[in-house]
A and B are shown apart, each in its own frame.
Chain A
Amino acid sequence: MDQINVLIVEDTPAQSQKLSKMLQDNSYHVVGIATTFKEALAIFYSDQKIDVAIIDIFLHGVPDGIALAETINTVPNASKPFVFLTSSTDRSIFQRAKLTQPFSYLMKPFNELEILYAIEMAVEKFYAQQNVFLSQEENTVISDDYLFIKKGKSLKKVLLLDIIYIEVEDKYCNIITEKEKFVILISLTKISKLLNPEIFTKTHRNYIANTQKIDEIVPADNLIILSGKHRIPLSEKHKSIIKKLHTLR
């Protein structure tokens, strides 16, 4: 599991420092702290992958934060979840900020719990999978590239392509990557719906395999051997995937 990359856009150093510390304490990775609109855009379009942006609405007295959010939103594939920070409760500013859907905000001053909650809400809303982190049944949001998993107070992410296979047990899913193995809370229907079917395919009632990680298929033994010598069963029902795999290769 990797840390979530956060971009902080905040013009007051004391506040950005405090925020940065709070995030690092909860094992988030602060990619950068921008104090202006330009700086923020520079970091946003740099090589560093950003997962969430925390944006102060007022930068040096002007609501550049909203402009930044609007700019980020205009690029469909590059857009990321963001949280507005504001000490202003001014109605008109909020009306404008609200147009930058999905809209999540945090009122200053805030405490640790509130910023963590706000980030989680922003991610949920952004990937349109609400009531995940707050519920007791689930803890994972799936995006195109990552699984965002709530672990303790913090959020973690796993690159989907790193997953070798997923083993489903009731409400739980065992995620097996090359480096680690962990359990997430997510329903099978949801995971099978949200994962890219080109890459992830069901081999068994309880198994979903990353087709890119398949080393060998042994139909006689109803077995699939994945990279890292992981063996998972292949049920009769799902044998048709062999053909699909061939065509894929």
Chain B
Amino acid sequence: MVNRPSMKVKFFFCILLFTSLCPVFVHSQQDKGLSVFESVLLQETKNFNTHPDFKKAVQFLVEEEWDSTLVYSARQLTVNTNNSELNNYCHFFRGFSFRRKGILKEATAELTKISKDFSFYNNVKIMLGSIAFERSEFQKALQYYKIIDSIKAKNLKGLKRPNIEENIGSCYLHLKQYDIADEYFQRSISLHETNKDTLELIGTYGNIAASYYEQYLDDKAIPYFQKAYMLSQKIDDYTLKLEAASNMAIVEKNRNNFQQAFQYKDEVIKYKDILNDRDRSWEIGKLEKEIAVNKKQEEVNALAAENKLKIAERNGLIYLTTILVLILGAVGYFYKEKVKTNKIITAQKESLDALNAMKDKLFSVVSHDLRSSVYALKTSNTELAENLEAKNLDALDTLLNTNSAIVNGAYNLLDNLLHWALLQTEQSYFEMETMHLFFIVEQTAYNYKPLMLDKKIQFENKVSKDVKVVADQESLKIILRNLLDNAIKFSNPEGVITIYTENGAENYCNLIVEDTGLGMSEATQQELMKDSLSVVKKENKHIIGTGLGMQLCKSMIQKNQGIFSIESELGKGTKMIVSLRKTDVDGSN
């Protein structure tokens, strides 16, 4: 029995704390009671949410972070001094927090700072009462509780009247006024019963029983314990069941009913197991949840990785596509270029082919001409030898003349060929200078004098000695040679060839080589004026020619910045007109 009081005290104290705190201030109780006070509090403080510190203080209070609540409420107090309601709240929070931390003196100090118009003033009173109770100042506590109890209003902002009654009862019990205490306990019980609040009822029974038991009023205590235990059998709350059973176990043990005490103990163990199981199952649930979360997380990770992979793949595809497009573009471009180049090359090839064909034709005609010339010379030489043997001197002379004519023709052809080649390759020396046309004509005609004499052609150079033209000397000579050659070739014996000048277009001098020979048709003229080397079909088949001479003439005239034209009539004669630039200064014509 020695250990009984100490055990009891320990036991009761725990119960008392439990009852005096929790039913009144609903924290750490079930959600139902908790929300009443909290929701009221949150609603009431809504207006002050504009103050960040205050808002945080409320938040931490709800979360039971007492130190943080103290810090933020203190901060709010330093900021705000005018709004008494706000200050009241802050003091209230501080008092509340201090009390929960067990610093009762500070809590009392903070709570007494609150003015009476505070909307939670009742709660303040209750709290002060509870603090007083805890400090064993039962009279003081009773005072506070009584004030609240006297308030008839139904809504006590989270306070439950039966709990207050119960607390008053506890006070009286400690003051050893058992009758009054009993009365209050009964009122509390009856209120609970009318509210049909079985859970609260069990708590109240427990508390009452504990109160009595502490005062060693075992006879009064035990029925309450039993009542609590009986009620607890009807509900599913294992915590309460456990409490009730363990209380019974202690009681029976103290009554030395060990058998029953063991039974209760067993029950207690059973409930403990159940609670543990529940905890465990809750833990397992938590674990499962965690696993599930992990699984989900993994899935999410997998998805993210997959996504990453997909993005990478997509980017790769994009790059690949871009590169492909670029390559395609480049290929297309080069293909286009190639097609263009091919076109140019084809065109060039065609023109080259045409030129080549022309050259081949020219080649064949030239070689044919030369071959005929050489062949004629060969036959002539044989004849010459025969005549020499026969000492037929007259025939010799004629033959020699023929030979020289043939050689002359061949030479002219070769000369033209050479100059043509030089002209094509731009190899020849070319310099335009002022020159006296008369002398050039004289010098050129000099070579043809014997030929013309032979054909009895009358030649006249009517060019004035004063006429000067700008031209390249050698090419002008070639032009003149060809024109004269043609004139002689197409002249009848005893014809007339005249060379003279006329004023042409502005700053131009027309050099005209006129003959009274065969002339030519319009078609032939046009053919001659064509810009291509046409190997001409001659109207006079016995007078052969390549047309090379004429082409050379035209090219040379062009190079000398001159103009070439033909006036001709079949049977009457031809005028070959070469327009050359006069000297700009002293062009005395």
Chain A residues with a Cβ under 8 A of chain B: 89-91, 94-95, 107, 111-114, 117, 134-136
Contact for A91 among B427, B443, B474, CB less than 8 A: B427
B446 touches A112 (CB 8 A): yes
Distance (Å) between the CB of A118 and the closest chain B CB?
A: 10
CB neighbours of B438 from chain A (8 A)? 134
A112 to B477, CA, bound (A): 15
Shortest CB distance A3–B (Å) = 22
Which residue of B is nearest A107, CB measured? B474
For A111, list chain B residues within 8 Å (CB).
443, 446-447
Closest 10 pairs (CB-CB, A-B):
A94-B429, A89-B428, A113-B443, A113-B446, A114-B443, A134-B436, A111-B446, A111-B447, A107-B474, A89-B422
Taking CB atoms, residues of chain B closer than 8 Å to A112 are 446
Determine whether the beta carbon of A91 is less than 8 Å from that of B436: no
B262 sits at the interface (CB 8 A): no
Bound-state Cα–Cα, A136 to B467, Å: 12
Instruction: Tell me which residues across on chain A come within 8 A of B477, comparing CB atoms.
Output: 107
Which of the listed residues B427, B443, B466, B474 has the most CB atoms from chain A within 10 Å of its own CB? B443
Which B residues touch A94, using CB under 8 A? 429
How far in angstroms is the closest Cβ of chain B from A94?
4
Interface flags, B411-445, vs A, CB<8A=1, else 0: 00000000000100011110000001011001100
Shortest Cβ distance from A166 into chain B, in angstroms?
26
* B residues 437-459 in Cβ contact with A at 8 Å: 438-439, 442-443, 446-447
Pairs A–B under 8 Å by Cβ, sample size 15: A89-B422, A89-B427, A89-B428, A89-B429, A90-B427, A91-B426, A91-B428, A107-B474, A111-B446, A112-B446, A113-B442, A114-B446, A117-B439, A117-B443, A135-B465
Closest chain B residue to A120 by CB distance? B439
In the complex, given contacts A95-B429, A107-B477, A114-B446, what are 12 additional A-B residue pairs having Cβ atoms less than 8 angstroms apart? Answer: A89-B428, A89-B429, A89-B474, A91-B426, A91-B428, A111-B443, A112-B446, A113-B439, A114-B443, A134-B465, A135-B465, A136-B466
CB distance from B134 to the nearest CB of A (A): 129
**What is the total of A-B residue contacts with beta carbons within 8 Å?**
35
Give, as a whole number of angstroms, the nearest-CB distance from A36 to chain B. 25
Interface size on B, residues (CB 8 A): 16
Q: Enumerate chain B residues within 8 angstroms of A95, measured Cβ to Cβ.
A: 429
Chain B contacts for A107, CB-based, 8 A: 474, 477
A16 to chain B, nearest CB (A): 20
Once bound together, how far apart are the Cα atoms of A21 and B438, in whole Å?
25
Question: How far is it, in angstroms, between the C-alpha of A113 and the C-alpha of B439 when the chains are bound?
Answer: 9
Residue of A nearest to B419 (CB): A89
Write the nearest CB–CB distance from B307 to chain A, whole angstroms: 77
> In angstroms, how far is the closest chain A Cβ from the Cβ of B429?
4
Nearest opposing residue in chain A for B445, CB measure:
A113
Residues of A with C-beta under 8 A to B466: 135-136
B442: chain A residues within 8 A (beta carbon): 113
Which of chain A's residues has its CB closest to B423's CB?
A89
A135: chain B residues at CB < 8 Å are 465-466
Chain A residue nearest to B430 in the complex (CB) = A91
Would you give the shortest CB distance from A34 to chain B, in whole angstroms?
25
Query: Which residues of chain A come closer than 8 Å to B439, judged between CB atoms?
Result: 113, 117, 134
- Chain B's nearest CB lies how many Å from the CB of A115? 10
User: A113 to B426, alpha carbons, bound, how many Å?
Assistant: 28
Cβ–Cβ < 8 Å partners of B422 in chain A? 89
Q: In the complex, how many angstroms separate the beta carbon of B540 from the nearest chain A beta carbon?
A: 29
Which of chain B's residues has its CB closest to A130's CB?
B434
Once bound together, how far apart are the Cα atoms of A113 and B444, in whole Å?
9
Interface residues of B in 93-149 (CB under 8 A from A): none
Residue of A nearest to B478 (CB): A107
Interface flags, B463-498, vs A, CB<8A=1, else 0: 001100000001001000000000000000000000
Tell me which residues across on chain B come within 8 A of A136, comparing CB atoms: 465-466
A118 to B, closest residue via Cβ = B443
Residue of B422, B429, B438, B466 contacting most chain A CB atoms (<10 Å): B429
Per the bound structure, the CA–CA distance linking A91 and B443 in Å amounts to 24
Specify which chain B residues have a CB less than 8 angstroms from the CB of A113 in the assembled complex.
Answer: 439, 442-443, 446
A89 and B426 CA atoms in complex are apart in Å by 10
> How distant is the Cα of A134 from the Cα of B422 in the complex, in angstroms?
31
B429 contacts which of A91, A114, A117 (Cβ < 8 Å)? A91
Q: Which residues of B contact A91 (CB under 8 A)?
A: 426-429
Chain B residues within 8 Å of A134, by CB: 436, 438-439, 465
Query: What CA separation (Å) do A89 and B443 show in the bound complex?
Result: 19
The answer for the CA separation of A114 and B435 in the assembled complex, in Å, is 13
Bound state CA distance, A89 and B475, in angstroms? 11
For window 148-195 of B, CB contacts with A under 8 Å fall at: none
Give the most central of A89, A94, A107: most B CB within 10 Å: A89
